[in-house]
Amino acid sequence: MISMTAAVLASLICLPLASLIHFNHFLGKRIVINIIQTLFSLPTVVVGLFIFVLFSRAGPLGGVNIMFTPTLMVIGQAVLITPILLGLIISALGGVDKAIVDTAISLGASGPQVAMAVIREARYAVMAAIIMGFGRAISEVGLAIMVGGNIKGFTRVLTTAISLETSKGELELSIALGIILISIALIVNTALNRIQQR
């Protein structure tokens, strides 16, 4: 649930942002894209640390008081997967034939209308990008423990539960949870494949 919300939140940010980057020509565009791609491999604990510092009681946003809540986990995971989503959506938009853009323009589409048409063309690749982001969010553990605190029934998620049960020696439970997690990953990947085949 947390990862899904994070994926939705990140997509809402990334779609307009990726369109802005893709459709505008500006100085340093190449560099921006390079930085985004570098951030694909952002370690989850680094994002966790960053969010922790920002939202801990003594941090600049400590007053918001959402430390160790699902809300902050959503924010953290959204930050984590934003580079992947941004990078993949930009390349999805870039994969749309230039002739499609020309055709839209010549049919009298305005700037935003052209962007919408291109996103619509790239919809399957964009959906694949979102699912990839979701996959990364659901499988990470470092950030979830650091900013969620692994509180039972509140901020405990599959990965943090596995981590805890393993250290308690409850291997059967851990393995069972692991199987559930892998099943979710399998379902997500199957969905991804089906979308890409269309």
Partner 1 sequence: MSLIEIVGLSHKYGERTVLRNINVGIEKGEIFALIGPTGSGKTTLLRLIDLLEVPTAGRIYFDSVDITALGRMKLEARRRMAFVLQKPVVFNISIYDNIAYGLKWREKSRGEIRERVDYLLEVVGLSAVRYKNARTLSGGEAQRVAIARALAVEPEVLLLDEPTANLDPISTSRIEQLITHIIQQYETTIVMATHDMSQGQRLADRIGVMVNGEIIQIGDPRQVFNAPQNRQVAEFVGVENIVDGVIISNEEGVATIDVGGNIIEAISSYNVGERVCACIRPEDITLALSKSPSSARNSFTGGVVKVVSIGPLARVEMDCGFSLVALVTKKSAEELNLENGKSVCASFKATGVHVIRRD
Interface residues with partner 1 (CB under 8 A) are 97, 99-100, 102-110, 113, 117, 120-121
Our CB check for partner 1 shows the closer of 56 and 91 to be 91
Q: What is the smallest separation between the CB atom of 103 and partner 1, expressed in angstroms?
A: 5
**Between 122 and 192, whose beta carbon lies closer to partner 1?**
122
Residue 77 to residue 133: CA distance in whole angstroms: 9
The Cα–Cα gap between 57 and 38 comes to 31
| The token pair that represents 175 in the structure block | 């393995």
Instruction: Report the residue number, 121 or 140, with the smaller CB distance to partner 1.
Output: 121
Question: Helix axis angle, 70-94 relative to 2-23, nearest 10°?
Answer: 40
Shortest gap between Cβ of 116 and partner 1 (angstroms)?
A: 9
Taking alpha carbons only, the member of 94, 80, 91 closest to residue 40 is 80
Q: Smallest distance from the beta carbon of 105 to partner 1, in angstroms? A: 6
Give the nearer residue to partner 1 in terms of CB position, either 120 or 168. 120
CB of 19 to partner 1, least distance (A): 17
Q: How far apart are CA 178 and CA 89, in angstroms?
A: 30
